[in-house]
Structure 1
């Protein structure tokens, strides 16, 4: 299996190219999987004060096997409910 996922093939999936308003704190593995490994992605959809996290299946060459992700609610490593939110620019600062 390839060491890295070929994320350049689809610009719709963003992992790690943003700042956190609330970073996942359950374990370092989840945050690293988003920020460094580009294995877990974070959508722009926010529910219950947290963005939606998801994984994408890949082929043995490291390319995406499908266009849509599989939503995850709990950390795959420690089992804790995922809480994390991207930082967004304010549209109308006061």
Structure 2
């Protein structure tokens, strides 16, 4: 299934400066499963994480994502930062 989505928002197409450390399931959902997306918008030292609901036939159910603030698996507050070109790791 191919989505018309900004490529740098989709997991696996960027490096982490500070990867989420709450549990491996969240990081895997971003990096491997491409189920959780990471916005380029950052607030309070963390990028925003969101899900894009799709219909049963694979189309986006809405134009914007649903922001998530806590890990769906371990319920810890999500914190993670993308590495941007020209920035040094923390």
Question: Runs of 4 or more off by more than 3 Å in structure 1?
Answer: none
Task: Choose from 70, 76, 80 the match for 1:80.
Answer: 76
5+ residue gaps, structure 1: 1-5
1:46 aligns with 2:42: yes
CA RMSD, Structure 1 to Structure 2 (Å): 1.5
1:63 positional shift: 3.1
1:90 positional shift: 1.4
Q: Distance in 2 between matches of 1:67 and 1:46?
A: 20
Higher-Rg structure is 1
5+ residue gaps, structure 2: none
Give the number of equivalent residue pairs: 85
Question: Secondary structure at the residue paired with 1:9?
Answer: coil
1:68 positional shift: 0.4
Q: Distance in 2 between matches of 1:62 and 1:23?
A: 29
